[in-house]
């Protein structure tokens, strides 16, 4: 099957996309995105799960404190800004769009570099969060008889709780926006190809001239297989496993699997 046939095939299918970080920085960017997606899901539901949401906030605050996320975002956004400046004056690049992206990067960097900016401090310094954290440390979840104050808060109106949650997350928002910007740039800077994994196995070298962050594998939802990738600086390998049921171990398929791969690097 040639490249054109591959593209026609994928246009006719409902696809599912799996992402695999190539380096630790990309892993942290994806983890930050995951935390926010889970918190957003809790907030937009018909009935906010107070315990689950606050536990996620505590995990998010701990993750920000433990990881080098802020430092990594500064380093990578600066590198991307410098890389984009190379395109200035290129007739194939829209100068207005380019300047807009660079200006957005600059704004994010200005906030991240500020000495007064301490993401996660609103959560860390909150008294109620502190009490919930102590209870969570000794048991899984907070029973209403263990912490009446939290039980009182959890029975406030949906609007009051969402207002407080947004207040807790207010100083994380610039970090979240910078993270979303970095992931948008990474996903938008991809090289796409249509491939076939012989007996469920595929390997390819990576472009050494780029910093590679992320692999994205897309395949038809109708296929009962999923990818597991391993990667380093120079190459990546992907194996496709067949899912039988939850009680048995998956096995690498012996079939030829058609898939789309995006190598995201800047």
Provide the pLDDT for residue 44. Answer: 84
C-alpha distance from residue 182 to each of 21, 110, 153, 198 (Å): 14, 15, 35, 34
Please check whether residues 47 and 148 belong to one and the same domain: yes
The confidence band for 47, taking pLDDT boundaries of 50, 70 and 90, is confident
Residue 118 has pLDDT above 60, yes or no: yes
CA atoms in the 13 A half-sphere facing the CB of 214: 25
Q: What value does the mean pLDDT take over residues 52-81?
A: 94
**Residue (of 227, 220, 230, 231) closest to 242 by Cα position:** 227
Taking the C-alpha atoms of residue 129 and residue 107, their distance in angstroms, rounded to an integer, is: 31
Give the dihedral sign, CA 143/148/150/152: positive
Q: Residue 255's domain is classified under what CATH number?
A: 2.60.440.10
Phi-psi group of 199: left, alpha or beta (phi > 0 → left; psi -120 to 50 → alpha; rest → beta) = left
Q: How many domains does the chain have?
A: 2
Residue 46 has pLDDT above 60, yes or no: yes
Please check whether residues 48 and 105 belong to one and the same domain: yes
Please check whether residues 88 and 174 belong to one and the same domain: yes
Q: What value does the mean pLDDT take over residues 136-143?
A: 62
Please check whether residues 11 and 108 belong to one and the same domain: no
Decide: 20 and 214 in contact? Cβ < 8 Å: yes
Query: Which of 41-55, 90-104, 222-236 shows the highest mean pLDDT?
Result: 222-236
The confidence band for 192, taking pLDDT boundaries of 50, 70 and 90, is very high
* Percentage of the chain lying above the pLDDT 90 cut: 74
Please check whether residues 234 and 102 belong to one and the same domain: no
Please check whether residues 173 and 132 belong to one and the same domain: yes
Question: Which own/partner contact pairs does 108-113 have at CB distance under 8 Å and 24+ positions apart?
Answer: 108/73, 108/77, 108/174, 108/177, 108/178, 108/181, 109/74, 109/77, 109/78, 109/81, 109/178, 111/174, 111/178, 112/70, 112/73, 112/74, 112/77, 112/174, 112/175, 112/178, 113/74
Range of the domain at 82: 28-181
Q: Residue 120's domain is classified under what CATH number?
A: 1.10.3900.10
Q: Which two tokens stand for residue 149?
A: 């104050």
Please check whether residues 136 and 68 belong to one and the same domain: yes
Please check whether residues 176 and 85 belong to one and the same domain: yes
Domain final residue, candidates 128, 147, 181: 181
Please check whether residues 32 and 19 belong to one and the same domain: no
Determine the length of the chain: 266
Domain final residue, candidates 117, 148, 181: 181
């Amino acid at each position: 099957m040639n490249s054109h046939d591959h593209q026609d095939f994928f246009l006719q299918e409902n696809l599912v996309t799996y992402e695999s970080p190539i380096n630790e920085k990309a892993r942290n960017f994806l983890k930050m995105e995951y935390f926010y997606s889970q918190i957003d899901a809790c907030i937009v539901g018909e009935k906010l799960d107070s315990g689950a949401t606050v536990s996620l906030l505590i995990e998010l605050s701990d993750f920000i404190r433990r990881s080098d996320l802020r430092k990594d975002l500064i380093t990578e956004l600066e590198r991307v800004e410098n890389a984009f400046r190379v395109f200035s004056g290129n007739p194939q690049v829209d100068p207005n769009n380019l300047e807009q992206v660079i200006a957005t990067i600059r704004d994010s960097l200005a906030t991240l570099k500020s000495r007064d900016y301490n993401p996660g401090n609103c959560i860390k310094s909150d008294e109620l969060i502190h009490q919930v954290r102590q209870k969570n440390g000794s048991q899984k979840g907070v029973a209403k008889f263990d912490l009446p104050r939290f039980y009182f808060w959890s029975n406030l109106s949906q609007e009051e709780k969402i207002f407080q949650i947004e207040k807790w997350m207010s100083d994380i928002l610039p970090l979240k926006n910078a993270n979303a910007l970095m992931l948008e740039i990474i996903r938008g800077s991809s090289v796409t190809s249509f491939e076939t994994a012989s007996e469920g196995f595929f390997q390819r070298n990576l472009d050494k001239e780029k910093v590679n962050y992320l692999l994205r594998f897309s395949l038809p939802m109708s296929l009962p297989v999923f990818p597991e990738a391993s990667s380093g600086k120079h190459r990546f390998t992907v194996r496709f496993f067949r899912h039988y049921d939850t009680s048995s171990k998956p096995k690498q398929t012996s079939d030829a699997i058609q898939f789309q791969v995006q190598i995201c690097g800047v």
